[in-house]
Chains A and B, each alone.
Chain A
Amino acid sequence: MIATESLSKRFPRVTALDRLSVDVGPGVTGLVGANGAGKSTLIKILLGLSPATEGRAEVLGLDVATKGGAIRERVGYMPEHDCLPPDVSATEFVVHMARMSGLPPAAARERTADTLRHVGLYEERYRPIGGYSTGMKQRVKLAQALVHDPQLVFLDEPTNGLDPVGRDEMLGLIRRIHTDFGISVLVTSHLLGELERTCDHVVIIDGGKLLRSSSTTDFTQTTTTLAIEVTDTDDHPDGTRAVRDALHARGVDVLDGSGGLPGAGHILLLTAQGEETYDLVRDVVADLGLGLVRMEQRRHHISEVFTDSEHGSEQSADAQRKEAVGHGG
């Protein structure tokens, strides 16, 4: 879908992209980076709107430097910022945008009706956009990016400003864009936990450099952390300790999950190596005759890759904070 080769973009005072080489295949790909990491610059170059200082890039097998127009005909783009005029209806706006993508008038109307329905806008699509909620506006923005049935869409921070429910719906929609519509997606975010759930593949850039590019399963395989909480029984007055010792005996390292927080002393953290870890925990707890209160995956662990970088701690703290907010609702 996308291939870049030592792609660089330098402005007089900043280097936005620094010899970035990355390959993105079909499916949902997350592009992660802090603000100013070069995400928007990369999208601009990929749309053929801004020439690269050096290096080359291809989108759908077309060179961005020479085939910008052809690329933009086959690609959709949903910007991060507000981009909707308030005084027209969603239908009118999306029809116009469909025609701007080259669809004949009749097809533009038909595709608009279809697309708005797919993103979940029904009767309200005839009302002026000015009266829409943030969630509905995001759907209109998504619809205008999909209306011409592109092969690939760039979604820039699509969950920005949404409440937890809206965020989950948007993530589900993004997933469907690939599974149901057959359109590949490049989605940017600075929330790593989100992308873990949505993407097949994650590309992390920082300071214009590629930090990491691998499939989401790779991330979770190496970093999934399980949190376990068990009950106490008469036989084992301190169930938590009993489980820890039993797991130790089987060669599994267990950390105390309290992290200094009150009431968290009963939570154990361990690294899951795969399916067998889950089975092992189940068996150990059952053998001890304890009740398993919780066994859950801890999210936001993609953020750990940031701890290798300069801005790492700041970024992962930010991601964790946002994640906490996301789950709090």
Chain B
Amino acid sequence: MAVEQPTRTPVTQSGDQTRIHNIGYRTYDGPRLGRSYATRSLYSQSLRGAYGLGRSVKSKVLPMLLFVVMCVPAAIMVAVAVATKAKDLPVDYTRYAIIMQAVISLYVASQAPQSVSRDLRFKTVPLYFSRPIETADYVRAKFAALASALFLLTAAPLLVLYVGALLAKLDFADQTKGFAQGLVSVALLSLLFAGLGLVIASVTPRRGFGIAAVIAVLTISYGAVSTLQAIADAQSIDGGGSADAITWIGLFSPVTLIDGVQSAFLGASSAFPGGVGPSNGEGVVYVLVTLGLIAASYGLLMRRYRKVGL
């Protein structure tokens, strides 16, 4: 039936080039690249969108600003290390993201709702699902896009540190190992934060609520856990002997969770009060909880979008 094209007329190249020719409707006989291509397109569009690319100037400001804020301290540290001919960088690769957790949380809070709440609020989701992709493709593309955006945000300053460290002629093997451990740690952090952020954003179609909710979960939980840990630490100094409590409380906020995982397995020094992170046994629990949370986020997103449909 696509064969009837009564108004197909060739474009005439002769004469005045500026004239607009009514060339009628042209059918499309080219390739249709299908589901996996569509998923990749959604991924790249979402990833670009997470830095405001392809969107209005206004929406570029915050993500770009946060990206710069993430990188500037690293650049300063490198400058100091090079200038003072220090033997080591002032901050561990693994510690950097923990120090900058507020910036990362802010980024997730601003971009997770941008990524999914808009589609829900403006009901664009049905348009996606009326195309070849399936629910799982949509969720995977969005999840991967935000996790990649976060990885860029957290890995870029580490790269600055690493390059700076090599310029300062610090020990190559040492630095490379630290850098690699840092990358693994921020990769895990990106997945965890992206998952939590998207789940929260996907149930709050209003962007404002989404932002507030993500900040609440990421930052307030960190504040609460840190406070509780400090109290537990103070008590253990008084002789209460509750160093264990510090460890277990740490499971209840995403930032301390990552901190626990990396101090147990990635050679990081813990940011917990007292500087003692979980032991290897406890670290396994941390890893399991982290992976469990990532998987649960994915599962919840799938459930959420199965309901949205058309």
Residues of A within 8 A of B (CB): 1, 26, 40, 43-44, 47, 49-50, 69-70, 72-73, 75-77, 79, 81-88, 92, 96-97, 99-104, 107, 111, 114, 118, 128, 144, 148-149, 151, 179-184
Contacts and interface: CB of A to CB of B under 8 A. Distances in A.
B122 A84 contact: yes
Nearest to A88: B55
A107 B28 contact: yes
Complex A-B, nearest 6 residue pairs according to Cβ-Cβ distance, in ascending order: A149-B28, A77-B130, A102-B32, A99-B41, A102-B33, A181-B25
Contacts of B26: 114
15 contacts: A69-B134, A73-B132, A82-B122, A86-B122, A87-B59, A99-B37, A100-B41, A100-B132, A101-B32, A102-B31, A102-B33, A180-B7, A180-B24, A181-B25, A182-B4
A149 B27 CA distance: 6
Contacts of A40: 310
Nearest to B129: A49
B28 A111 contact: yes
Contacts of B3: 182
Contacts of B28: 103, 107, 111, 148-149
Contacts of A82: 122-123
A40 B309 CA distance: 12
Interface of B: 1-7, 24-28, 30-35, 37-38, 41-42, 45, 54-56, 59, 118-119, 122-124, 126-134, 309-310
A73 B34 contact: yes
Nearest to A86: B122
A84 B127 CA distance: 9
Contacts of B45: 96, 99
Contact of B1 (A26, A96, A104): A26
B123 A182 contact: no
Contacts of A151: 1-2
B184 to A, nearest CB: 33
A87 B5 CA distance: 35
A50 B309 contact: yes
Contacts of B131: 72-73, 97, 100-102
B56 A104 contact: no
Contacts of A103: 28, 30, 32-33
B25 to A, nearest CB: 5
A100 B33 contact: no
- Residue from the set B4, B6, B119, B132 with the largest chain A CB neighbour count within 10 Å: B132
A268 to B, nearest CB: 41
A44 B41 CA distance: 24
Given A87-B56, A102-B35, A149-B28, 6 more contacts: A49-B130, A85-B119, A96-B41, A100-B131, A128-B56, A180-B6
